Structure 1
């Protein structure tokens, strides 16, 4: 059976490794690109392409655990050239909530700032420090003045992360809402790719 490689966004590392362990996928390995690429989407397609060039496709099948993630279709161009699939949707909120549900959430309140477990866990570093709000609190109104709510899309029911997400909403002056999504289409996409691959010949 041909081994499999998942090239993943570092922001999904914990969730993907949990799914690999829970499903007993021993033939799967995961390589994560830096989660900080989240803040530099223009670099994602090139980083994925560099990683794909390192893979021996005769020995491994590859799946890319990114959505479009702000690349404006550039990631899809890279993946099409290599014949590789990725996660569905425009971003991680899409595949966690499901595309239809996310579209309904966005339509109900366009001024929504979204958190996942990863972003709730690393909010201080990725938002407060990266945007300079920790040193200049007045920047929160500049960056988030058009937002009305913070919606935490939770992958796990974790009271510590819930508290962190509520705190984040307070720091940004936004109303707080919570929705448990679990792993959503992240799980179903990996199941389709990995379990489907098990039926293929070597």
Structure 2
């Protein structure tokens, strides 16, 4: 396994307790799969993916999780992108770091592929969001369907449903989500190679503090 810039990972001496990866549950199946496949000594603690819609709750839940782990003497790494305006301050306060990338979609697709679709007006839909779409959206934006659709149409021209090797069949849920906001649905199949490199890099940097300064400008 190598980091994102193709430097080989030097396996550090294994600690008595696994490293705890705290983060968004949107890709929980993919992250757990990669941890198991690579034999990483890492435990996961996932937060509700809908927290992105409530910044105060996101910072509170993340802070609580990091405090709880610190009190137990556990080392942490964070699986989030720039999902909160104070994300870097939160990380600094807790003496930890996060996975490299703007958000979970960019970590999964890679920056160039993510930006190319975003520039075409894409809204990205993952399985976890598709399965809870209508209650999640109405709780955030209200029940006036015309207002909800106007919000989405202002910034988006299509909905891209992303399938990974870990996805179940969420075809019906994706179609319903796209119909709810009145956007055309497009499917995109994605492997886990880019996400794997992102996770590997974050774990490596957490376990090798001397290497962090070489990566700090990339976060």
User: Which residue in 1 is equivalent to 2:67?
Assistant: 53
Question: Hey, what does 2:26 align to over in structure 1?
Answer: 11
Alpha-carbon RMSD across the aligned residues, in angstroms, is 2.8
Going from structure 1 to structure 2, the CA distance change for 1:182 and 1:148 (only over 3 Å counts) comes to same
Aligned positions, number: 193
**Whole-Å separation in 2 of the counterparts to 1:68 and 1:130:** 20
Question: Structure 1 residue 58: deviation in Å?
Answer: 9.1
- Structure 1 stretches of 4+ with a deviation exceeding 4 A read 195-200
1:88-136 Cα offsets, whole Å, 9 max, x none, are 22222211111121112222x1x32221222122223322554334xx4
Q: Does 1:116 align with 2:126?
A: yes
What TM-score do the two structures reach when normalised by structure 1?
Answer: 0.79
Unpaired runs of 5+ residues, structure 1, are none
Among 57, 61, 64, the residue aligned to 1:43: 57
Judged with a 3 Å threshold, the aligned counterparts in structure 2 of structure 1 residues 115 and 184 are, in CA distance, closer, same or farther, namely farther
- Answer whether contact 1:98 1:184 (CA < 8 A) is retained: no
Match of 2:77 in 1: 63
Q: Describe the shift of the 1:116–1:84 C-alpha distance in structure 2 as closer, same or farther (beyond 3 A).
A: same
Higher relative contact order (CA 8 A, sep 6+): 2
Equivalent residue for 1:103?
A: 115
Q: CA deviation at 1:40?
A: 0.7
Aligned 8 A contact 1:117 1:156 in 2: no
Offset of residue 84 of structure 1 = 1.4
Q: Which residue matches 2:149?
A: 141
Residue 142 of structure 1, CA deviation: 2.7
- 1:10/1:35 contact within 8 Å kept: yes
Structure 2 gaps, min length 5: 1-13, 210-219
Aligned residue for 1:82?
A: 94
How far apart, CA to CA, are the structure 2 residues paired with 1:97 and 1:154? Answer: 11
Structure-2 change in CA distance of 1:157 and 1:8 (3 Å): closer
TM, length-normalised to structure 2: 0.73
